[in-house]
């Protein structure tokens, strides 16, 4: 798994005045750096939701998901979460609910970890503003750098935790979806999924 990009540090090494050094580690600049570091997680989250929608739409458009006498509904945009269609057989209906719950779980997981990172960043960015302002020269830069290191660690930990948890969840649900569709396509004489039970 690709490692999250580190928060970009100020690259202007020619600045030597105490005031300019202090400005590099203002609350606004630190929060902007953290937000930039969250962009890869946001991009991964977008892809995660896309994969979950793919599994939901696979059930939505597959005739094997429906009871006899019901036709699959009109095709909807693959970028939208469709409503649960009428006519799904019992097993398909239950698994639809499982997938929708998984879709919402991924969204909540992303929001939770993003909120943790930003709450922590806001809390410490306020402190660093006053701590850097009370120092000059290399001391100010050193204090700001330590806070930036801490914000970076918290961001990376949350990004890695979200990404790992989401990918494990999606992988497990994707395998179940594939297995179930294969099973449903092998229908019994009564049109329901599963094995037929013939009288001996």
Instruction: Give the residue with greater pLDDT, 28 vs 9.
Output: 28
pLDDT for residue 94: 96
pLDDT for residue 108: 96
pLDDT for residue 96: 96
pTM: 0.74
Segment 26-60, tens digit of pLDDT? 777 778 888 888 999 999 999 999 999 999 999 99
pLDDT for residue 154: 86
Instruction: Give the residue with greater pLDDT, 129 vs 156.
Output: 156
DSSP 65: G
- The CA distance from 128 to 131, in Å, is 5
Work out the mean pLDDT of the chain and round it to a whole number. Answer: 78
Residue 181, CA distances (Å) to 65, 74, 175 in order: 8, 19, 10
φ and ψ at residue 68, rounded to 5 degrees: -60, 140
Beta-bridged to residue 88, according to DSSP, are 66
Segment 75-108, tens digit of pLDDT? 788 888 999 999 999 999 999 999 999 999 999 9
Confidence of residue 111 (pLDDT cuts 50, 70, 90): very high
Segment 53-72, tens digit of pLDDT? 999 999 999 999 999 888 87
Q: Which of 4-13, 48-57, 67-76, 126-135 is least confident?
A: 4-13
- Residue 87's contacts (CB-CB under 8 Å, 6 or more residues apart) are 66, 67, 69, 70, 71
């Amino acid at each position: 798994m690709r490692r999250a990009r580190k928060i970009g540090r100020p690259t202007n090494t020619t600045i030597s005045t105490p005031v300019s050094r202090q400005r590099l580690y203002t609350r606004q600049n630190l929060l902007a750096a953290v937000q930039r570091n969250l962009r890869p997680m946001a991009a991964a989250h977008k892809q995660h939701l896309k994969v979950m929608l793919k599994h939901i739409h696979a059930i939505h458009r597959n005739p094997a998901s429906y009871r006899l006498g019901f036709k699959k509904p009109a095709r909807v945009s693959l970028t939208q979460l469709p409503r649960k269609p009428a006519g799904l057989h019992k097993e398909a209906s239950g698994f639809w609910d499982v997938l929708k719950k998984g879709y919402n779980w991924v969204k909540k997981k992303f929001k939770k970890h993003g909120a943790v990172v930003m709450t922590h960043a806001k809390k410490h960015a306020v402190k660093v503003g006053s701590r850097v302002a009370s120092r000059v020269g290399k001391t100010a830069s050193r204090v700001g750098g330590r806070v930036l290191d801490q914000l970076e660690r918290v961001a990376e930990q949350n990004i890695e935790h979200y990404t790992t948890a989401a990918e494990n969840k999606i992988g497990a649900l994707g395998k179940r979806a594939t297995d179930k569709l294969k099973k449903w396509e092998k229908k019994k004489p009564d049109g329901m999924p599963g094995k037929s039970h013939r009288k001996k």
